[in-house]
């Protein structure tokens, strides 16, 4: 049976250093992700806020799980929890 990778979505802006670090961490792990630039698509900011209940960027989702921001994802990586969450569904 073929496993499907979980969808990873990052809500970000172009000028956010934490957004850059989040992208770099995922790229280092060879994880494909969809980036939603709320500075280029202002209407998507409300979507981000409704999904995450937060206003800051980045907001990261792996599958249906709201990871939080970069610091939250980096903490998961440090504790060895990120790879398990990223595993295929």
What pLDDT is recorded for position 17? Answer: 98
The residue with tokens 């921001």 is 69
pTM of structure: 0.92
Report residue 65's pLDDT band, with 50, 70 and 90 as the boundaries. Answer: very high
Contact 86, 26 (CB under 8 A): no
**Architecture (CATH level 2) of domain 8-86:** 3-Layer(aba) Sandwich (3.40)
Q: Please report which helix (H) or strand (E) contains residue 66, including its range.
A: strand 65-68
7-55 pLDDT tens trace: 999 999 999 999 999 999 999 999 999 999 999 999 999 999 999 999 9
**Mean predicted confidence (pLDDT) in 63-68:** 96
């Amino acid at each position: 049976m073929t496993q499907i990778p979980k969808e990873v979505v990052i809500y970000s802006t172009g000028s956010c250093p934490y957004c850059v670090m989040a992208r770099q961490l995922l790229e280092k792990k060879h994880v494909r992700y969809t980036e939603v630039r709320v500075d280029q698509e202002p209407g998507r900011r409300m979507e981000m806020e409704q999904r995450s209940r937060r206003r800051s960027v980045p907001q990261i989702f792996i599958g249906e799980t709201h990871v939080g921001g970069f610091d939250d994802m980096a903490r998961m990586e440090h504790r060895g929890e990120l790879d398990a969450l990223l595993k295929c569904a």
